[in-house]
Amino acid sequence: MPVTTLTSREFNQDASGAKRAAKAGPVFITDRGQPQHVLLSIEDYHRLTGGGRRIADALAMPGIEDVDFDLPRANIRSRPADLG
């Protein structure tokens, strides 16, 4: 996956070129020589963030029954209700 680096000026002058480059890999946008932003394709973003899946969708995946899923026991401290 190629990484492209553009200055802010280059990005402003050719945003469509930056979008084309983002289809192949991340595009780093620099300010004063320091990376400040990253442009990603939506597919790369979803891959990195898990695609915004809901827990119900994840649990419905085929083969999920083979995954160990142990949650720690919740420690809930009850307090008397203040009705006053």
**pLDDT (tens digit, 9 = 90+) per residue, 28-69?**
999 999 999 999 999 888 888 876 667 676 677 677 677 676
CB 57: neighbour CB atoms within 10 A?
Answer: 10
Q: What is the pLDDT of residue 52?
A: 61
Question: For 23, phi and psi rounded to 5 degrees?
Answer: -65, -25
Q: Amino acid identity, residue 17? A: G
- Tally the domains of the chain: 1
Q: Does the residue 73 lie in any domain?
A: no
Where residue 14 sits, what CATH number does that domain have? 3.40.1620.10
Q: What is the pLDDT of residue 32?
A: 94
Q: What is the pLDDT of residue 49?
A: 80
- Domain extent for 49: 4-58
User: Nearest-CA neighbor of 47 among 26, 66, 65, 61?
Assistant: 26
Q: Does the residue 34 lie in any domain?
A: yes
User: Nearest-CA neighbor of 6 among 34, 48, 41, 44?
Assistant: 34
DSSP lists the bridge partners of residue 5 as: 28
pLDDT score of 79 more than 90:
no
Residue 73: pLDDT band (50, 70, 90) is: confident
